[in-house]
Structure 1
Amino acid sequence: MAEITAALVKELRERSGAGMMDCKKALAENNGDIEASIDWLRAKGLASAGKKAGRTAAEGLVGVAVQGTKGVVVEVNSETDFVAKNEQFQGFVRDVTNLALTTGDDVEALKKAAMPNGKSVEEALTENIATIGENQNLRRAKSLSVGQGAVVSYVHNAAAPGMGKIGVLVALEGDAPADKLEAIGKQLAMHIAAAAPLALTGDAIDPAIIEREAAIAREKNADKIAGKPADIAEKILKGPVDKFRKESALLSQAVVFDGKTPVQDFVAAEAKAAGGSVAVKDFVRFQLGEGIEKQQSDFAAEVAAAAGVA
C-alpha cells in the first residue's frame, strides 16, 4: 500500500475542497492515487468537479492575438511567476503569439519560425533560458478563423496587453455589424473564461469524460439503482449525466451575467437586436498550467540532504 503523506493529503484537499479526514480515507481507499481519490470523493458527494479544473500547476503566460478574422492563443511556461513579469519573457511571448497567426497550431513549425531578430523561436527560447536562468517551454497553440464574422479575444488576469493567466478566443460567424460582433464576442469570451465550458455542445464533449461522469453517477446512486430493472436504472443514471452535459457545454450553459439565460438564447437575442445573423462557430480557452502537475519540494529536506543529514 502506498504511503499516505501529509503532502498528498494537502494536495487532495486543495484540489477537491474536501475535509482532511475524508481526503486521508480517499487516499487510503485508492492506494494514494490522486485522480482516483478525487473521483471517489465526488462519488461520495464530498467534492466538486470544478475544484480540479480550477487548479493550475505551472507558471508563465498565455498570449492572444487577433488579425482580421483569425485569432490565436499560445501558452509559454516558466518555472516561477516572477519570470512572467520579466520584460524579456513578455516580449518573447508577444512575438511568438504574433508569429502563430501565420504558423497556426503546429508547435514544432512555430519553433522553427523566424523571430523579428532573424533567430528561430527555438533559438530565442534557448537564449531566454540562459539569460533569465530558468527553464521555459513553448507548450501549445490554437488558432480559430471564420469566413465572415469575427474572432474576439479576452485575457483574464492580464500581466501585459494580450497576455495573462487565462486566454480566450471565440469565433462568431454572421453578417451583423462589426462593432456588434465585437461586443457580443467580448461578453461570450468573458463568460468562457469564468465558466470554462468543455465543448460547444453536449454531444461534442469527449466521450471519455462522459464515461467518467457516468461511472461516478453509478457509484453515487448505487443505493437507488440496487435491484432495479436495467431500463429503470438507466433512467436514474441518465439524469446526472445529462445535467453534466448541459452545464459543461457552452451553448447550453447559463450566461454568468444573469445565471439563467442559456448562451444560445443570449446570442439569438443579441443577433436580433443587432439586426443581423450571429452564430458561435467555435471557441478556445487556455488556462495557464492546466493539466501540468507542479512538483512539490520540501526545502528543509533538500537542505538537510545537501548537508548530508539523514
Structure 2
Amino acid sequence: MADITASMVKELRDKTGAGMMDCKSALNESGGDMEAAVDWLRTKGLAKAAKKAGRVAAEGLIGVVANGTAGAVVEVNSETDFVARNEQFQKMVSDIAAIALANNGDFDKLLAAEFPGTSKSVQDHVTEMVGTIGENMNVRRAGYISVSEGVVSAYVHNQVAPGLGKIGVLVGLESNGDKAKLAELGRQIAMHIAATNPLATRKEDLDPSVVDRERNVLIAEAKESGRPDNIIEKMVEGRIRKFYEEVVLLSQTFVVDPDNTVEKAVKAAEADIGAPVNVVGFVRFALGEGIEKEEADFAAEVAAARG
C-alpha cells in the first residue's frame, strides 16, 4: 500500500473541497494517485463542492452569542445574501457561534471541533453544506471576550434572526455593581461601537504605527502652509487629539448621549450601577470587511451571451 502523507491529503482536499477522512480514503483506494483519487471522490459525489470553492464568498452572516461573563462572535461567509436567509444556514451559523464560545474563540479549535449531531468537524460539515446549499461557504474568523466579574454585552445590527446579522459587537464591562444596569450600559456601548467602528478602547491600545502614519500625514499637510516649525508642531498635536476623538472608543462622542464622551458616560453611569465600571475591551465584526468582491462586467456578460 502506498504511503499516504498528510501533505497529500491536504493537496487533495484543496483540489476537491472534500473532507479530510474522505480524501485519505480516496488516496488509499487509488494507491496514492492524485488524479485517480479526484475521480474516486467525484464518483462518490464527494467532490461536488470543488468547483464552487474558488468563488468569492463575501456575503453570509455574523453570529454572536454571550452567556453573561463571556461572548463569542463568528463570521461565516456565503456567495449571496439569499443564502443568509436560508434557515439551514442560519442554524449552522448559530451552532458555530456556540462552538466558538465553548472554545474561547480559538479559531483552529473551532474548525476542528465536532459539529453537533454529526461525526464531522465544523470545517468538514461546512464543506458538506457547500454541496447541499449550492454555494461556496467558509468560516472566516472568530472573536472572543470575557470578564472575571461583570458582563459581556452583545449587539447585532441588521438582525435577521436572534444573534445573527450584518454587524456583531461584543463589549466587556468589569464591575461588581448591578448586573442588569451594567448589561444595559454595555448594550448601549455595543450599539455605539457598531455605529462608529473605533480602532481601540484607549489611546494606549492604538497600534503605534497607525498613530505614526497619521502624524506623518498631518506634518506633511501642515508644512504645505509654509508656517514655522513651532506652529506646525502645535497644529499637528491639535489634530492628533482630534484623531484620538475619532478612533478611540472612550474618547469618542457617545452616540446615545452626544453631550458626553463614552468615558464620561461610563463614569456618570457608575452612580446608578453602584460600583466603578471598567471597559475591558470590545470585538466588532462587520460582514465581508476586507474581502475583495468580484465586480461583474454586465456589458461583457451580455456580449458573451450574444456570441
TM-score by length of 2: 0.77
- Where structure 2 has 5 or more consecutive residues not aligned to the other structure, the ranges are 1-56
1-side partners of 2:301 and 2:241: how far apart? 48
Per the alignment, residue 174 of structure 1 pairs with 175
Per the alignment, residue 20 of structure 2 pairs with none
Deviation at 1:212, TM superposition (A): 2.9
Contact residue 66 and residue 151 of structure 1 kept, 8 A: yes
In structure 2, do the counterparts of structure 1 residues 267 and 128 end up closer, same or farther at CA, with 3 Å as the change threshold?
same
1:261 aligned onto 2:260: yes
Contact residue 257 and residue 265 of structure 2 kept, 8 A: no
1-side partners of 2:252 and 2:221: how far apart? 24
What's the secondary structure of 1:176's corresponding residue?
coil
Per the alignment, residue 199 of structure 1 pairs with 200
1:185 aligned onto 2:186: yes
What's the secondary structure of 1:259's corresponding residue?
strand
Identical residues among aligned pairs (%): 50
Per the alignment, residue 251 of structure 1 pairs with 250
Per the alignment, residue 89 of structure 1 pairs with 89
Per the alignment, residue 27 of structure 1 pairs with none
- What is the total number of aligned residue pairs between the two structures? 250
What's the secondary structure of 1:180's corresponding residue?
helix
What's the secondary structure of 1:158's corresponding residue?
coil
What's the secondary structure of 1:98's corresponding residue?
helix
2-side partners of 1:221 and 1:58: how far apart? 39
Contact residue 107 and residue 139 of structure 1 kept, 8 A: no
Contact residue 144 and residue 169 of structure 1 kept, 8 A: yes
Per the alignment, residue 224 of structure 2 pairs with 223
Deviation at 1:306, TM superposition (A): 6.3
Between 62-71 and 158-167, the greater mean CA deviation after superposition: 62-71
Q: Give the letter aligned to residue 61 of structure 1.
A: L
Deviating above 6 A after TM superposition, structure 1's stretches of 4 or more consecutive aligned residues are none
2-side partners of 1:227 and 1:67: how far apart? 56
What's the secondary structure of 1:65's corresponding residue?
strand
Q: Give the letter aligned to residue 196 of structure 1.
A: N
Per the alignment, residue 73 of structure 1 pairs with 73
Name the Cα RMSD after superposition: 1.7
What's the secondary structure of 2:257's corresponding residue?
coil
Contact residue 150 and residue 174 of structure 2 kept, 8 A: yes
1-side partners of 2:132 and 2:222: how far apart? 56
Deviation at 1:76, TM superposition (A): 0.7
Contact residue 167 and residue 285 of structure 2 kept, 8 A: yes
In structure 2, do the counterparts of structure 1 residues 295 and 218 end up closer, same or farther at CA, with 3 Å as the change threshold?
farther
2-side partners of 1:221 and 1:80: how far apart? 45
2-side partners of 1:306 and 1:207: how far apart? 52
Contact residue 60 and residue 288 of structure 1 kept, 8 A: yes
**Which structure is larger by alpha-carbon Rg, 1 or 2?**
2
What's the secondary structure of 1:235's corresponding residue?
helix
Between 292-301 and 212-221, the greater mean CA deviation after superposition: 212-221
Q: Give the letter aligned to residue 67 of structure 1.
A: N
- Where structure 1 has 5 or more consecutive residues not aligned to the other structure, the ranges are 1-56
2-side partners of 1:212 and 1:297: how far apart? 34
1-side partners of 2:305 and 2:126: how far apart? 31
Per the alignment, residue 111 of structure 2 pairs with 111
